[in-house]
Amino acid sequence: MSRGHADFLRMVDALQAVLEGEAAYRREHDDWVERERMAVTAEANAWALAHDWPTVTVADVEKVEPRAMGHVDYMRKLALYVAELVWRDPDPHPVSPIQ
């Protein structure tokens, strides 16, 4: 399916909104880190499945999370990095139809 920059930014915004929504419950749950990872994974996969894009796992989110840590805009950075996982080209080196 066609991908546009506006789609990418909407996905980043949606992922950030999910993270911000989950962050409101940090004091109520000891497992808030896992809950936030699961929530952003679920939202990313909802976008992926709706657009026939690659899905991600919680382990994928965990791998990119350290890149966002320490940033004043941690949630935006994490949303961006997770969106990039979904946005990746599933076949970056397709075989040319001309042989």
Tokens of 53: 């894009």
Within 8 A by CB and 6+ apart from 44, the residues are 11, 15, 55, 56, 61, 82, 83, 85, 86
Distance of CA 79 to the CA centre of its chain: 5
What is the pTM assigned to this prediction? Answer: 0.81
Q: Distance (Å, rounded) from C-alpha 98 to C-alpha 62?
A: 40
Query: Given this model, what pLDDT does residue 96 score?
Result: 47
In degrees, rounded to 5, the angle at the alpha carbon of residue 67 between the alpha carbons of residues 62 and 73 is: 105
Q: Averaged over 60-78, what is the pLDDT? A: 93
> pLDDT tens digits for 9-67?
999 999 999 999 988 877 888 888 899 999 999 999 999 999 888 899 999 999 999 99
- Model confidence band, residue 81 (pLDDT cutoffs 50, 70, 90): very high
Query: Given this model, what pLDDT does residue 71 score?
Result: 87
